[in-house]
Structure 1
Amino acid sequence: MILTKNKALVPFLGDKLSIIRGLDPLGLQITSESTYGVLLPGLTNVTHRIRYYGFHCWLLDRFATHVGKADPKQQQDFVRRAELMVALLIRLLGAKPLNIPGSAFADKMIASNTDSVYRLDEGADSRPGGNPETYWKARMGAFGQYYAGSMRALGLVGTSAANDQVFVRTSEQAGGISGQQLAAAFADGIPEPVQQLFLRNIEAGLFREADLKILAPYFDLSQLQAGSAEQALYLQLLTGVDLPLQEDSASSPFHRKTSLRLALSYLHQDQARTTRKFLADNYLAAGGEAEELTLRGWYFYQLNEYWQVACSSVLAAMLRDQDKDGGYVHLPTFLVQFTEQIGAQLQEVVPGLEINKPLSAFLEGADLQYQEEEHYAVICRELLDYVEPAAQAAAGLALIGLIYRRNHAHFLELRQYAKERDLLREGNFLAYSQQLLAKRDWTMTEFVHDFLHRDIVLRHQYVSMRKMGTGQQSSQKFEVEGEWLRRTDTMSARFSDPRLDVLLLMAADLHLIDQDNVLTAQGRAQIA
């Protein structure tokens, strides 16, 4: 039973649950997500193609003028048909650009189509109770699920005064780019007859292959004309203030702009570098200069990433270890045995470690054998069959000791930085470091046993039950019945995606970097 908001939730008395492959089984990615939300506002992990911002502003503008009704259902179908038509158009061109919403469904439509006409209404229109047989399940398509929130944060869209279920593009505004400006820039290079053809297809619910040559040069959203007004506005959007709609936008930071400059500068030094390498190098430098707040933010992010992935690896190792017992173990016995196995493996990783000595020796002792990224390679590698579960768990615990030891001198300034930005979310590593200090006199054996029970088993139960609520789906990896634990699913430890790759994909669409990751003249201008 869970008590939340003065309500008792007892999901075990409800309908039968279905198991889903839930992410973040220990609820430790909240801090990471909040941090990259501050550093890259307006971006999500699926908003890869920057022209979709202008396209959706144009769609909302044309819905208001072409349809002129504040009807949520009609707007849903209008947007959904348009998104599906774009996916069909791009796929029919024969190219395979990535990150086009609805492209997988479009491929199926093309493969099964027997003539040159595609039914947009059948493939896109909203259905009572959801849209499982259409190109997108969410009622407002990819726009509603992925773009609307980002575009609202950037000041591009809002909701209608007549009906808050209807989206509208914003009008001209001081201090930022408006939806009206982006809609006009998107339409600027498209002849009016071509726009009208696109709109007629939406209205008819049909797309003909004969229209492909007419529409493709303008509605292939994987392509953006260099030097156009549209390109200039997108670049201005990315490099403008982070939060243009806040009351005092003049005081809004420029973390998004700074992150773009930092990522491009890093890439300019070596085209083979990755955003993962950027984060790891910045972490080792403790965020660089103290006055560089964006670098400090990415340092804080990566510290919490090592923490959450270390804990996740221990959970993954526990689940793997239960293979030999058929996924059903006596929990007290398992915890004792797995603790002993981890202790033996820790002595292989940590030179001179004595498991019956205090935890303080582990936190303050000599450097570990491996660095953070090397531990990550062990605990998150694809071929984990070659790593014993206890060794995987030991690597995760060793990583926790390493990040404490490397970073504890910076905890005070990091805590102040995070507190000012509301980033000290539940489960963050700075909070856990206080627990480590409180347990410094425990033996390593006592600490490992308590960590397995309290921070892995009990925390996963708490997080999965909280996520379950009164719903019909469960992300539980195991169930505990009395003193017996029964595994129900497996998992892999992994980093979250901080959207830096999305930023570079947008930079590529904006012609700041070429296909070989070499900065163009415009790209070099951004780091000058």
Structure 2
Amino acid sequence: MQIETAWVKPPPQVGGLDHLAVQAPCISIYGRLLPGITNVTDRARYYSFYPWLIWALDKAGHREFNDAFIERFRRADCLFCLIAQRHAAVCGGDADDHAAAMVGSDTLASVARSLGADGTIHLSDFSLRLGAKKRYFASDLGGLGQYYLGVLRELSIIDGDASAGVRYTRQVGAVIAERMDASVNRPLFMKAVDADLVTASELDALHGFCPCQLCNSPSEQEILGELFFVRDRFHDSEALPRRRSLQLILQLADLLCAHGQQLSETAFRACTYASSLPGGEPWTISPALSGTHEKWAIYARNELLSVAVQGLFYVLLDAYEASSLRFDASADIADWFMQQSETLEALEVLGPQKTFSECVADSKVWLPDLTRWNEPMHEVQLTERITSLSRARKSAQNREEIVLAALRALIALASRADSTDRQYADLVFEADYFRYYPINLESFARNASGSWASTTIHDVLRWLLINWGLEMHLRVALRKLRGQSQSTFRIRPSDRGMEVIAIPPAVHTRPRFNQAVRVLKDIGALERTASGWQPSILGRAQLELADAP
């Protein structure tokens, strides 16, 4: 019998995301509430620039999708970024208005800044896929291929893909392209692309392409406003949540500005969760936006659960790694951690032999009203404390604070909840969804009113560390290993016992809020004032669409 021996290459170790599968419901919710905007589609003008570029290349006779087309496309993508960076350098003010999140900025920002009054730039020095001095972007089609193509296809602005070729759609893409073309210098732009050379004076002459100039291109601004607010030719009932979410952000911006407060992702999460402003004033939601607000509040509640559970996983791995001990089973690690001084002292504050339901009852003493979300003992601030401490210098004291904050956050969530309610309201998830994502608001409500209720807080913590911590992570990592052939283990079994690979901090999901705000600024729906960002005349006009079909 012939026997062959060969080395088996181990799967690549990668960082991975959502190590406890606890963020997935949050991601699912915000994805439905802001369709057409993603965490990487940061600038509104790319929604017009990319169809315009393909349209302009088509007008110049570059219709065949080949290496020559791709190289011209990449030069143009570089040039677009250079224009924005140059405009930021010469105009002053807030550079983000011009160049924030421009594709290739990491490479090209310094190039634009160092360009003197008589300087020149060879675009191919940065655009060539092979042989560039410093390649601006890896993807063949630059930011389009990496970030915007899926969304622009979904919106019927562009067809095709990065392998077979891309083209603008005549019904939508061509219209947007023509609107943009009316306010930019296409001949000079294409001249620079064809010549593979642009001078400082030409970059200045091309400033009309800068994203900040979108508001000076009225017909382009109008059609992008229709797109993002789902009006006229872009009306689509499935996209209406985007309009409602943008309106909700505009309304909150107006209220925060009136109270001298800044619009931020943290404030948005807290205000939607508590239906109140930072000072505790009520946020009155119009009937047309109440359903959208409710879904964002559910997202925020799920986010609080997610951060609390992540915090407990963090402290367990942190303490275990610091100990240099090795155990073979999850239960052994959890039992060891339950005996540590930081754990015992955190539990002592709550009463280790009190049941979970007794701890919930006790929360009436220390838990602020839901609307007072700026107070330190509110679950919003407790979870913010968890994320902050999990990024701070590691120590037993920090671990103790995280354990106590996480348990108090879970107690607060249980105290606020009605276990008889549908925790996700009318949000529908596909069959068996929660079998893959067992840590969710439904399972939390069942446990809080069921098995945990008569269990001591000590034993609830132990259960969480094992079942919603180590065992959950091993299950998630094994599933990713099987499905993606990548190792995302943060702790894994070895011949020396369980060993820590890395300790992931507790983090919030990124609910596309910053991208949505940037879009609102780009299209002129938000304007800067001495008090902060508030709806412009255009933005207030969009708010009036609340009751329109």
TM > 0.5: yes
The one-letter amino acid of 1:339's match is: M
Are 2:42 and 1:48 aligned? yes
State which drifts further: 57-66 or 404-413: 404-413
Maintained 8 Å contact 1:479/1:488: yes
| Equivalent-residue separation in structure 2 for 1:294 and 1:169 (angstroms) | 32
Residue of 185, 195, 198 corresponding to 1:207: 198
Q: Which moved more, 1:323-332 or 1:508-517?
A: 323-332
The answer to whether the Cα contact below 8 Å between 1:40 and 1:256 also exists between their aligned partners in 2 is yes
Counterpart in 2 of 1:269? Answer: 255
Aligned to 1:255, which of 237, 241, 251?
241
Q: Deviation string for 1:362-406 (max 9, x for gaps)?
A: 456543552111211321115354743133133223322321331
Of 141-150 and 323-332, more deviation after overlay is shown by: 323-332
Q: 2:378 aligns with which of 371, 384, 408?
A: 371
Other structure's SS at 2:63 match = coil
2:501 counterpart of 1:502? no
**Partner in structure 1 of residue 160 of structure 2:** 159
Does 1:223 pair with 2:224? no
Q: Distance in 1 between matches of 2:430 and 2:216?
A: 40
Asked whether 1:107 is paired with 2:98, we answer: no
Written as runs of structure 1 = structure 2, the 5 A alignment for 1:116-515 is: 116-127=119-130, 134-159=135-160, 165-172=164-171, 178-190=172-184, 194-216=185-207, 218-226=208-216, 228-240=218-230, 251-252=237-238, 254-271=240-257, 272-274=261-263, 275-285=265-275, 292-326=290-324, 332-341=331-340, 344-347=344-347, 349-350=349-350, 353=351, 355-362=352-359, 366-367=363-364, 369=367, 370-381=377-388, 382-383=391-392, 385=394, 387-409=397-419, 411-412=421-422, 414-419=424-429, 426-433=437-444, 434-440=446-452, 441-469=454-482, 474-481=487-494, 484-515=497-528
CA contact (8 A) 1:159 1:168 kept: yes
Deviation at 1:105, TM superposition (A): 0.5
Query: Could you tell me how far 1:54 is from its partner in structure 2?
Result: 0.6
SS in 1 for 2:170: coil
Separation in structure 2 between the aligned mates of residue 20 and residue 413 of structure 1, nearest angstrom? 34
Tell me, in whole angstroms, the C-alpha distance in 1 between the residues paired with 2:183 and 2:148: 23
Counting matched residue pairs gives 496
2:107 counterpart letter in structure 1: F
Alpha carbons 2:492, 2:500 under 8 Å: kept: yes
8 A Cα contact 1:338 1:390, kept in partner: no
Look up the SS of the partner of 2:198 in the other structure.
strand
Question: Residue in 2 aligned with 1:58?
Answer: 52
Report the AA paired with residue 455 of structure 1: W
- Over the matched positions of the two proteins, sequence identity in percent amounts to 21
Q: 2-side partners of 1:513 and 1:319: how far apart?
A: 44
Q: Is 2:419–2:449's contact at 8 Å kept on the other side of the alignment? A: no
Q: In structure 1, the residue corresponding to 2:514 is in which secondary structure?
A: helix
Determine if the alignment matches structure 1 residue 520 to structure 2 residue 531: no
Q: Distance in 2 between matches of 1:334 and 1:222?
A: 55
Residues in 1 aligned to 2:431 and 2:537: alpha-carbon distance in whole angstroms: 35
Per the alignment, do residues 63 and 296 of structure 1 end up closer, same or farther by CA in structure 2, a change over 3 Å counting?
Answer: same
- The alpha-carbon deviation at position 340 of structure 1 amounts to 3.7
| Preserved contact between residue 356 and residue 457 of structure 2 (Cα < 8 Å) | yes
Aligned-pair distance for 1:471? 6.1
Q: Which consecutive unaligned segments of at least 5 residues does structure 1 have? A: 1-12, 173-177
- After superposing the two structures, state which structure 1 stretch, 396-405 or 42-51, moved more: 396-405
Amino acid in structure 1 at the alignment position of 2:308: A
| Residue identity in the other structure for 2:103 | P
2:202 maps to a residue whose letter is D
Instruction: Tell whether the 8 Å contact from 2:347 to 2:404 is kept in structure 1 after alignment.
Output: no
Of 81, 103, 107, which residue of structure 1 is paired with 2:75?
81
2:29 maps to 1:29? no
Q: Distance in 2 between matches of 1:430 and 1:138?
A: 39
Deviation at 1:186, TM superposition (A): 0.6
Letter in 1 for 2:511: P
Q: Could you say what the CA RMSD is over the residues aligned between the two structures, in angstroms?
A: 3.4
One-letter amino acid of the structure 1 residue matched with residue 381 of structure 2: E
Letter in 2 for 1:388: N
Instruction: For 1:460, give the aligned amino acid.
Output: H
With the length of structure 2 as denominator, give the TM-score of the two structures: 0.80
User: Which residue type is aligned with residue 34 of structure 2?
Assistant: L
1:78–1:203 contact (8 Å) kept in structure 2: yes
CA drift of 1:468 comes to 4.1
Moved more, 340-349 or 58-67: 340-349
For the Cα contact (< 8 Å) 2:74–2:127, is it kept in 1?
yes
Deviation string 1:483-521 (CA, Å, 9 cap, x unpaired) is 722222232212111112222222222222223313322
